[in-house]
Chain A
Amino acid sequence: MAAGTKVIKKPKRTLADQSFVVELVKGLGVTFKHFFKGLNQMRPGGPRPDVTNFNYEDGIATLQYPDEKRPYARRFRGVHRLTHRANGEPRCTACLMCSTACPAQCIWIKPAEFPVGHPSRGHERFPEEFVIDELRCIFCGFCVEACPVDAIRMDTGIHMTAIDDRGSFIFDKKKLMSIPSQDGDFVTSNDRPEPGDKNYGGITRLQGH
């Protein structure tokens, strides 16, 4: 026997084991215990554990899904939304980072320049159209990670629902901007002063840098 080897003895097979009778009675004890417990819990008004919380109590563990739901975590990646600026315009600067990062290639953006004289002109663009195909999306959240200005978020808490025509799964800019976050707001708490704002600390084109 090599050093450090632990010898595990094979349990003896007694007559009681081999006749199955004792073991069967033991097994029946276990299954009957669960059966009667379940029966008691299933009666109307029975003490069925609340399966919608995460306590994992003993007893019937079935979650009757569409009728009963477990709350999603706040970090749940739900349907996308586009955050707003203070003036109600989309925050997105049409940098195309998200559509580049998207592994499903389901984001399509048509960038446009701000008009001449607009403080943001030359700093950023804005999306004239912003489309996400929610059917192709795999809800990986890469777009959210990629976005430098926190313009696209998946904090709506909405589970993508079944819609019965494919066209309705193509979410356009208007639709994306109309979805609030799970707290009900359309902005993001991450502050970003725009060019032209008082607290804008960045350089401006006019300074000629």
Chain B
Amino acid sequence: MITGATFWIATAIKVFAIVFGLVNLGALLLWVERRQSALIQDRMGPNRANIKIFGKEFRVAGLLHSAADGLKMLWKEDFVPPGADKLLYQFAPVISLVPPLTLFAVIPFGPSIYPDNLRRVFGSEGWNAAAGYIPLHISVADSGILVVFAMASSGVLGAALAGSSSDNKYSLLGGLRAASQMVSYEVTMGFSLVGTFMVYQTLRLEQMVQWQVDHAWGIFVQPLSFLLFFTAAVAETKRVPFDAPEGESEIVAGYFTEYQPMKMGMFALGELVEVMTSSALITTIFLGGWQFPFLKLDGFHFELFGIAKPIYMSHLAVVIISALSFVVKVAILVLLQMQIRWTLPRFRYDQIMKLGWRILLPASLINILLTGVVLLFVNGR
């Protein structure tokens, strides 16, 4: 791995790209969700916000609605309820937005880059491995997935603090619901992944991807685990159908009832970023991460009908295709989550708890047991 100044510069670039990218993609997702839900419901969706340049209207397919929303939120009065806990009240939105962003630090979004060898084919003549490589994930911590769990579970703090500090009974109820729901699904989330650790024999996400590149995608190895983790991840985002923390007819907007637009926007953005991070996690753990089918580090290797026909490609091309395939996989998962959000009606609170504790948790325990038994036979011990 590269060390010294280059390492820090590369890290800074990665951090900037991820934070900047995710926050802006959040605004894009707002648009995606609006238009997608509109099409599902045979509507057109918002498309009238426009910008006038030289007397010509530009509507950009309704993208400007997100910008208009942001501007509007920015100009609203920033009011703090008199009875609120000032410090916690101000910090809660930040606490709910930062963990999903931080979580991205350990997710690899592409294979390692060898900056000196961009034009060469991997491992070919003149390949200079001594110059070091740049891993395409920010943190190289050994803890890997444990960071993910730590961050994912601190997301609940934001909601709970917002609920308790707002001095509003609806907020408090919403915060309580958010806390209990997220804690419940956190358990399943953790247990459902144990099976994958047992198979991959590692906690580091980049090594999980490597295992999947070498063997098979996690969704084929651990289908039940995929299903459970996906459900738990959707529940973690606190969006429909798992949106018990909010509920117009019962507790208004739940834990962010008392929040002013910009801070409420931070909660909403946090939710959308969470959708993206959970999709990225699922991609990494179950869908082969940045792997493009048949693409090895030195190019395509089609092995169909016994005919092996490698197409060699430069390192740069391979990295770009891999990173793009990661983005595409994440995008597909995000769209799928949105589609689910507009397909299912919301669960009742007791249904959420029943699903979490009585169905998902036992299923994840059974999955661990099955995985252990299968591994025992496969490894022949």
Binary CB contact string for chain B from 344 to 381 against chain A (1 if under 8 A, 0 otherwise): 10000000000100010000000000000000000000
Q: Which residues of A contact B44 (CB under 8 A)?
A: 42, 60, 62, 64
When the two chains form their complex, are residues A21 and B43 in contact, meaning their CB atoms are under 8 A apart? Answer: no
User: In B1-41, which residues have CB < 8 Å from any A CB?
Assistant: 36, 38-41
The stretch of B73-81, B263-271, B295-303, B335-343 that contacts the partner chain: B335-343
A35/B339 in contact, CB under 8 A? yes
**Residues A19 and B359 in contact, CB atoms below 8 Å apart:** yes
Cα separation A98 to B342 with both chains bound (whole Å): 53
Inter-chain contact B340/A28, CB cutoff 8 Å: yes
Nearest-neighbour CB distance to chain B for A58, whole angstroms, equals: 8
B113 to chain A, nearest CB (A): 36
Find B41's partner among A19, A32, A34 (CB 8 Å cutoff): A34
Count how many pairs of residues, one from A and one from B, have CB atoms less than 8 Å apart in the complex: 45
Q: Do B42 and A31 touch (CB < 8 A)? A: no
- Given the interface contacts A19-B359, A21-B227, A24-B344, does A31 sit within 8 Å of B339 by beta carbon? yes
Across the interface, name the chain B residue whose C-beta is closest to A27.
B343
Contact assessment for B40 and A31 in the assembled complex, using a CB-CB cutoff below 8 Å = yes
A31 contacts B343, C-beta separation under 8 Å: yes
Q: How far is the CA of A58 from the CA of B36 in the complex (A)?
A: 17
Does B359 contact A39, Cβ atoms closer than 8 Å? no
- Does A30 interact with chain B (Cβ within 8 Å)? yes
Question: A160 at the A/B interface (Cβ < 8 Å)?
Answer: no
Q: With CB as the reference atom, state the residue of chain B lying closest to A21.
A: B227
A24 near B40 with CB under 8 A, answer no
**Is the Cβ of B344 less than 8 Å from the Cβ of A38?**
no
CB distance from B164 to the nearest CB of A (A): 32
For the complex formed, measure the closest distance between the CB of A54 and the CB atoms of chain B, giving whole angstroms: 17
Main secondary structure of the interface of B (DSSP, over half): helix
Does A59 reach chain B (CB closer than 8 Å)? yes
- State in angstroms the CA–CA spacing of A35 and B38 once bound together: 8
Q: Mark A17-60, 1 if CB is under 8 A from B, else 0.
A: 01111001001101110110011001000000000000000111
Q: Is A61 an interface residue (CB 8 A)?
A: yes
Q: Which A residue's beta carbon lies closest to that of B231?
A: A20
Q: A42 to B38: give the CA distance in the assembly, Å.
A: 11
Check if B343 sits within 8 Å of A35, measured CB to CB.
no
Distance from B125 Cβ to chain A, minimum over Cβ atoms (Å): 48
Contact A34:B340 (CB < 8 A) given known A19-B359, A21-B227, A62-B44: no
Report, as a range, how many residues of chain B touch the other chain. Answer: 10 to 19
B39, B344, B355: the one within 8 Å of A34 (CB): B39
Residues of A within 8 A of B339 (CB): 28, 31-32, 35
Which residues 58-73 of A sit at the B interface, judged by CB distance below 8 A? 58-62, 64
A62 touches B343 (CB 8 A): no
Which residues B225-274 have CB closer than 8 A to chain A?
A: 227
Residue in chain B with minimal CB distance to A18: B359
**Please, how many angstroms separate the alpha-carbon atoms of A61 and B44 in the complex?**
8
Question: When A19-B359, A21-B227 are in contact, do A38 and B340 touch as well, CB less than 8 Å?
Answer: no
| Given contacts A19-B359, A21-B227, A62-B44, A39 and B39 within 8 Å (CB-CB) | yes
Known A19-B359, A35-B36; contact A24-B43, beta-carbon cutoff 8 A: no
Q: Which A residues touch B36, using CB under 8 A?
A: 35
Assembly CA distance A59 to B38 (angstroms) = 11
Tell me the minimal C-beta distance from A62 to chain B in angstroms. Answer: 4
Tell me whether A38 and B40 are in contact in the complex, defined as CB-CB below 8 angstroms, given that A19-B359, A21-B227 are known contacts: yes
Determine which of B42, B227, B344 lies in contact with A27 in the assembled complex, contact meaning CB atoms within 8 Å.
B344
Whether B42 contacts A59 by the Cβ 8 Å rule is yes
Task: List 20 additional A-B contacts (Cβ < 8 Å) besides A18-B359, A42-B39, A60-B39.
Answer: A19-B359, A21-B227, A27-B344, A28-B339, A30-B343, A31-B40, A31-B342, A34-B42, A35-B40, A38-B38, A38-B39, A38-B40, A38-B42, A39-B39, A42-B44, A59-B42, A60-B43, A62-B38, A62-B43, A64-B44
Interface residues of A (CB under 8 A from B): 18-21, 24, 27-28, 30-32, 34-35, 38-39, 42, 58-62, 64
Give B residues with C-beta under 8 Å from A.
36, 38-44, 227, 339-340, 342-344, 355, 359
- 8 tightest A-B contacts by CB? A38-B39, A62-B44, A27-B343, A31-B343, A31-B40, A35-B39, A35-B40, A61-B42
